[in-house]
Structure 1
Amino acid sequence: MRSIFSLLALGAVFPAVPVLAEPQPFLLDEIVLSGSLTPVPADGYARAYSVVTRAEIEARGLASVEDALRALPGLSVSTSGSSLTQIRIRGGEANHTLVLIDGIEASGGADSHVFSGFGTEDIERIEVLRGPQSVIYGSNASTGVVNIITRRAEPGRGHGGGIEVGNGAAGSAWVTQRGDRGGLALSLAARNDRGFDYSGDGGGKDGLDTRTATLTGDVAATETLRVGAILRRERLRYDYDAENPDWAATDADSYIVDAPLFGRRDGLRGALWAEHEAFDGRLTQRLQWQQSRDRASENDGPQRRGETQRLRYRASVGLDGRVSDARHLLNLLAERQRDTTSMAPDQRRQANAVALEYRARLDGLDVQAGLRHDDNRAFGDFTSWNIAASWQVPDMPLRLRGSAGTGLVNPSFTELFGGFGTIGNPDLRPEQNRSVDLGVDWQWAQGQVGLTWFRESLKDEIEFFATPSGDFSYRNQSGRSPRQGVELAARMDATEVLSLGASYTYLDAKNPDGSVEIRRPRHEAGLNATLALLEGRAQVSGDLRRVSGLWDTQFWGGFETRELPAYTVVNLAAAYDLTPNVRATARVVNLFDRSYSEVWGYASQGRTAYLGLQARW
């Protein structure tokens, strides 16, 4: 609580705007909120990124964040039961991707975020940054960042909500108000999904029951001072099946067996922020305090707790004018972070960091460069850097870009001190990533195509291994883990009523000994199409995803790493405007009822249909 009161006191001197989002939502389509210490104009951001908007989420019938991230260039999504969905970027591990919700870390205790039933009901947009982002965000942003931005207050008053039925039920409601001085937004959502049998044995369904509430607000205290807050609460109950007892499995069908197991997660995230403008807008200062708390347990057993607190101060100086439109901008960051967990109650992490970032917008040339120094009490100091540039070719709809940088991932508390049936290794070293990429973007009136080549190298990669005594622990691999690939994204308006999209990722990710990295497909392609009908009152959307070259370890027999069968999944979604304010929706997951696995032994969701209503006024 002392931290909260300290921020309130300091807020009278140093103020700011939401964590990564400006309070004016109409700017969202023109800037990349997450790509810098201050928002970056999209046409001047020189690094590889993707954005999934609210309009796309609704058109494609994307009910979860996991589904929204599938088939994005450079991303690999793997699900092993309702309790564990992991996101990997450019072949890195799941904990090499930092997940944020409105700029707040989505997991307390410096652990990787587990996606489980993360609905899209209150999401405004999702930004994905590919490549090292440690200069801006520190540890755990070694291969990229996923920033999930929730609904913000729009000018005037707005209300809305929705319901959906099909293999369970879901409901949501929201209300927003924005006036001349500030705004307030409240979103509530609940989903009781009956799920499906992850064991594939024809046993009981493994469902999810989620509840979320998000409250955001901001107010202009003076003409130059704006303050605000964000508060989000999440509650989740999930069912899961068991690994074959006594390691008696002999194949994929016998590895996971039906069992009435369940778990609970409870998360609380919040931030207080303030931003102040001085010298006619040439200087802005931002102070933000944020906290993430998580609690988890299985089968009413002991509860695990994790907490992360972060205090950030940022000063931005427009070297040749106002910060909002300066051609030369200098950002300074100072922050302190503290992580604790009940898994290691006597171990606390604290780190201090300073960073400097320079941005320039010249005639057709955009440049970003950053340097950060972390003073970490547990692992020593580390200096990360990045540099990026893009060039708009004169008289052509062609933009060339390139970037390079380094990233850092500190070992987790579990890796250091043990837990979940493993033995910790307190001698682990942080993982360090080095990256370079080159890209080209071609844009015309009806669409755009982006192509990126990347190469990354991970030093001291931490691996999970079996000790000679039969226990499981962690160790640093000797040498470097190389990763390289190609990312392609395309979107076009084929006609006035038909829009098309495509993505493709080629990834070659290996361990230092040359063996393939698991749960990272070599080839992943996506196609989607949206057709408007009845003068725009109706629309139909289809998604196709093809995955091949996916390897995983079989936890039976000789513990071999084998390739999973390739698979293709098709989803459909449709909507019809009953009135200007009420829309009927329908969607079908896995239209052709294909059986596939993203992780050995775990079954996939069969064909499932949903119907819903959405309202807004």
Structure 2
Amino acid sequence: MRSSFIALSFVLALTAQAARAEESEAAPITVLATGSEMPIDQSGQAIAVISTADLDRLQGTDLVRVVEHLPGVAFARSGGIGSQTSLFVRGANAEHLLVLVDGVRLNDVSSPKGANDFATLQTGGIGSIELLRGSNSVVWGSEAIGGVLAVTTREINGVEASAEGGSHGTFSGNAVAGLAGDRGAISLSGGYDRTDGVSAARAGTEPDGYEQWRVAGRGRVDLAPGLSVVANARYARSRTDYDGYSDIDFSPVDGPFYQITRQFTARAGLRYRSDIVDLDAGYSLSDTRRDNYDPTSATPFQYGFAGRSQRAELTGRLHLPQNFALDFGADSERQTLPRGGAGSPHSRLNSAHALLGWYGERAQIAAGLRVDDHNQYGSAWTFGANASVRLPADLRLRASYGEGFRAPTLYELYDPTIGNVAYQSFGFSALRPERSRSYEAGLEWGSRDRVFAAISLFRRDTRNLIDYFSCYGVNTPACDAANAVGYFGYGGIYYNADRARAEGIELEWAAHPSSTLAVQMNATLLRARDRNKGGFNFGKDLPRRPFATVTGSIDWKTPLAGLSLGADTRFRSESYNDAGNFTRLPGGMIADLRASYALTPKVEVYGRVENLFDAYVPTVAGYNTWGRAGFAGVRVRY
């Protein structure tokens, strides 16, 4: 394994030395730094963009497999594709990553922590992905302690369709159609994915499948010069089979259970652009419902959860003289648990922010404040700043500082299964909001379309982290109250677990020595630890955060017209499955091979082999992963 990485590094060195000194293209555009469009190389924060071409090149429906190629990213999945999946950015908890789809927040209000389950988000219909690593709560609010991931669906003028099939009875079909003109644009997309899967439990033999169908649309109508009406909507219905637990040691075992998840997101608003001010106003809705079933029971429906977020917002940028700009915004969000009975549990968060920046040709600096006013926790202020400066020898130095704030979720405050009953006696009402401070410094060299290298150093200190304590077998006044209403006679308590620290180094390296060859490599060294002095786990690693992750890819357009070949490697080191560091998760490397061939300018066939060496690299103890698998498909554009 070590020799494979040495060989890859050697190839990278050769290609970097051979790179041509050609004119660079414009830097990718991002909205994650300030909320307004700007080139990535003007931000003091670490941002990566995955384009439509990258998604087509990497192939497949698994969004996590694509995002895993970026530095600072690790994940945990309880089984094969479609199983519950959490994404960790720079060691942050899954709920600390804000996920946006066409500007709508996808974080699941119905889940205990409010994190997004990436099992239900596939690549079909997606046009681009942006990932900001590190805190940016000034612009994006309470969920952005660890980062922001923004997904944008495809907007085209024409028709695109693809279909692929392969191992484990897997099939994926997607189609996008759109019209674009001088006065507006509209696009519609739809897709269907299914797989027989593998057993979610490592010790099981019964395959656990996954199925999803989805539909999405977005449109724009120009009312006047610079003024447009914009709208988008997405609906997805997923069914996921999952396994149960042993009554003896609680290890995963075969089971007939399945979950139906329904997600609906929508946003409508106005957009205005001028030389003086840019404005975006809108209303968005995100609704998630998860129902769990046991088909062997006399009453198959077992339990379910539902969460809804409604958000009104106004953001903008004021273009000031002398290269200054003021980004600002105000928003109001209401979250509810619709199944909580009369007077369903709800919360209200009102926020406002301002970010003043100077964007010169060779240097940029921005700083801002945000105030969040929560109906239960009062007001909280957060501060953030970042800077970037171009140095000689094609170098760019950047640095940032950000503070974060996250209020307890409705699930952490209320029991959604027994109605609108606050857990006052359990201490839930005494929960304190989570707070964080993030620091980052980075040095970049070159341009992203020729030879590019970057190193980033980061640290994040988080306090008042909210955790869950199981009251199984524990008799205290608080646990007695929790056990009285918990499932099967026992429950648990949410509490503030105090402090954690994540710090590390990210390395990025990409080379394009010619128009036919591209090589990329990313590496992250991370140390994420419990810093709660006096606690049982002080100094121990946070669960499921590998110390080292390395990804590499090589793409070659062969001399045979239309034929392209590619290879990917993804390595993760050992980690621990639990906060007490009792169960170790083995590390390993997964390698993929890819190929595509353009039959005509509009028709392309492609195929890949995932996990070429059939490696078992678990991310959750006791759960299975896909072994070697092959897929083939066709893509058509008109």
Same fold (TM over 0.5): yes
Corresponding residue of 1:205: 207
Q: How many residues are aligned here?
A: 569
Q: What is the deviation of 1:239?
A: 0.5
Given the alignment, which residue of 582, 601, 604 partners 1:561? 582
Which of 395, 406, 418 is the matching residue for 1:409?
Answer: 406
Aligned match of 1:16: none
Give 1:201 deviation, angstroms: 3.1
CA contact (8 A) 2:388 2:397 kept: yes
1:548 to 573, 577, 581: 573
Is structure 2 residue 169 aligned with structure 1 residue 172? no
Amino acid at match of 1:180: D
Of 371, 374, 384, which residue of structure 2 is paired with 1:373?
371
Q: Which residue of 1 aligns with 2:185?
A: 183
Q: CA deviation at 1:439?
A: 0.0
Unpaired segments of 5 or more residues in structure 1?
1-26, 250-254, 321-325
Return the alpha-carbon distance in structure 1 between the equivalents of residues 172 and 377 of structure 2: 45
CA displacement, residues 563-608 of structure 1 (integer Å, 9 cap, x when unaligned): 2111111112211111111111111111111122111100110111
Q: Indicate whether 1:31 and 2:29 are aligned.
A: yes
8 A contact 1:96–1:140 mirrored in 2: yes
Structure 2 CA distance, aligned partners of 1:65 and 1:337? 28
- How far apart, in 1, do the equivalents of 2:108 and 2:497 lie? 27
Tell me the distance in 2 between the aligned counterparts of 1:161 and 1:169: 14
CA distance in 2, matches of 1:464, 1:455: 25
Assess, with a 3 A threshold, how the Cα gap between structure 1 residues 286 and 71 changes in structure 2: closer, same or farther: closer
Q: Assess if the C-alpha contact under 8 Å between 1:486 and 1:507 holds in 2.
A: yes
The match for 2:397 is 400
| Structure 2 residue aligned with 1:242 | 244
Q: Which residue of 1 aligns with 2:115?
A: 112
Q: CA RMSD in A?
A: 2.1
Q: Does 1:472 align with 2:497?
A: no
Structure 2 match to 1:328: 324
CA–CA separation in structure 1 for the residues paired with 2:427 and 2:554: 48
Supply the distance in 2 between the matched residues of 1:561 and 1:433 (Cα, whole angstroms).
Answer: 27
Tell me how far apart the structure 1 counterparts of residues 109 and 100 of structure 2 sit (CA, whole Å). 14
1:275 matches 2:271: yes
The yes-or-no answer on 1:528 pairing with 2:553 is yes
Counterparts of 1:424 and 1:344 in 2: how far apart (Å)? 20
TM-score calculated relative to the size of structure 1: 0.88
Deviates more, 1:222-231 or 1:336-345: 336-345
- Pick closer, same or farther for the CA change 1:489–1:272 going to 2, 3 Å: same
SS in 2 for 1:200: coil
Match of 1:448 among 435, 446, 452: 452
Deviates more, 1:414-423 or 1:383-392: 414-423
Q: Which amino acid aligns with 1:543?
A: D
| Correspondence for 1:252 | none
In the other structure, the counterpart of 2:385 is 387
CA gap of 1:424–1:603, structure 2 versus 1, over 3 A, is: farther
For 1:126 and 1:224, the matched residues in 2 are separated by: 26
Residue equivalent to 1:596 = 617
Amino acid at match of 1:475: Y
Aligned mates of 1:536, 1:88 — CA distance in 2:
40
CA gap of 1:520–1:560, structure 2 versus 1, over 3 A, is: closer
Distance verdict in 2 for CA 1:62–1:408, change over 3 Å: farther
5 Å-filtered alignment, 1:50-65, equals: 50-65=48-63
1:257-268 matches, cutoff 5 A: 257-268=253-264
- Which of 561, 564, 575 lines up with 1:539 in the alignment? 564
Residues 112-171 of structure 1, C-alpha deviation per residue, up to 9 Å, x if partnerless?
Answer: 110114221211111011111211111111110111111013xxx311101111132111
Q: Given residue 304 of structure 1, which amino acid in structure 2 is its aligned partner?
A: F
Name the aligned partner's letter for residue 112 of structure 1. Answer: A
2:608 maps to: 587
Give the superposition deviation at 1:60. Answer: 1.8
Partner residue of 2:131 out of 119, 128, 149: 128
CA contact (8 A) 1:465 1:472 kept: yes
1:104: Cα distance to partner? Answer: 0.6
Provide closer, same or farther for how the CA distance between residues 420 and 401 of structure 1 changes in structure 2, counting only shifts above 3 A. farther
Counterpart of 1:147 in structure 2: which amino acid? A
Query: Following the alignment from structure 2 to structure 1, what is the Cα–Cα distance between the partners of residues 101 and 429?
Result: 30
Could you tell me which residue of structure 2 aligns to residue 14 of structure 1? none
The yes-or-no answer on 1:508 pairing with 2:527 is: yes
Q: Which deviates more from structure 2 when the two are superposed, residues 491-500 or residues 84-93?
A: 491-500
How far the C-alpha of 1:533 sits from its partner, in A, is 1.4
Deviates more, 1:69-78 or 1:365-374: 69-78
Partner of 2:501: 482
Distance 1:151 1:352, change over 3 A: same
Contact (CA 8 Å) 1:194, 1:205: kept in 2 or not? yes
The separation in 1 between residues aligned to 2:460 and 2:554, in whole angstroms, is 32
Residue 605 of structure 1 aligns to a residue whose secondary structure is coil
For 1:571, the equivalent position in structure 2 comes to: 592
1:498: which partner in 2?
Answer: 517
Give yes or no for contact 2:563–2:598 (8 Å, CA) kept in 1.
yes
Please give the per-residue CA displacement for 1:432-463, whole angstroms capped at 9, x wherever unaligned: 11011000011157320111000110011112
- Quick one: which amino acid aligns to residue 270 of structure 1? A
Q: Indicate yes or no: 2:77 matched with 1:79.
A: yes
Which residue is equivalent to 1:291?
285
Q: Alpha-carbon deviations, 1:227-254, whole Å to 9, x = none?
A: 110011111011111111x2435xxxxx
1:355 positional shift: 0.7
1:537-559 residue CA offsets vs partner (Å, 9 max, x unmatched): 111111111111311129xxxx7
Distance in 2 (CA, whole Å) between partners of 1:474 and 1:343 is: 21
Distance in 1 between residues matched to 2:513 and 2:253, nearest whole Å: 47
Residues 458-498 of structure 1: per-residue CA shift (max 9 Å, x gap): 011112223323743221123x3121100111111244422
Q: Secondary structure at the match of 2:54?
A: helix
Tell me, yes or no, if the aligned pair for 2:34 and 2:327 is still in contact at 8 Å. Answer: no
Q: Which moved more, 1:291-300 or 1:460-469?
A: 460-469
Are the counterparts in 1 of residues 346 and 410 from structure 2 also a CA contact under 8 Å?
no
Distance 1:361 1:454, change over 3 A: same
Distance 1:424 1:161, change over 3 A: farther
Q: What is the Cα deviation at residue 187 of structure 1?
A: 0.8
Distance 2:391 2:347 in 1: 47
Kindly indicate whether the alpha-carbon contact (under 8 Å) linking 2:607 and 2:632 is maintained by their aligned counterparts in 1: yes
Quote how far apart the aligned CAs of 1:517 are: 0.4
Task: Please show how residues 65-104 of structure 1 align to structure 2 within 5 Å.
Answer: 65-81=63-79, 82-104=82-104
The 3-state SS of whatever aligns with 1:595 is coil
Contact 2:40/2:47 (<8 A) preserved = no
| CA gap 1:65/1:199 in 2 versus in 1, 3 angstroms | same
Q: Is the 8 A contact 1:97 1:140 kept in 2?
A: yes
Q: Deviation string for 1:506-544 (max 9, x for gaps)?
A: 111111221210011111111111111145511111111
Q: Is the 8 A contact 1:575 1:585 kept in 2?
A: yes
SS at match of 1:553: coil
Q: Secondary structure at the match of 2:412?
A: helix
Cα pair distance change 1:344/1:427, threshold 3 Å: farther
Following superposition, the deviation at residue 298 of structure 1 comes to 0.6
Q: TM-score, normalised by structure 2?
A: 0.86
Distance, in Å, in 2 between the alignment partners of 1:601 and 1:343 is: 33
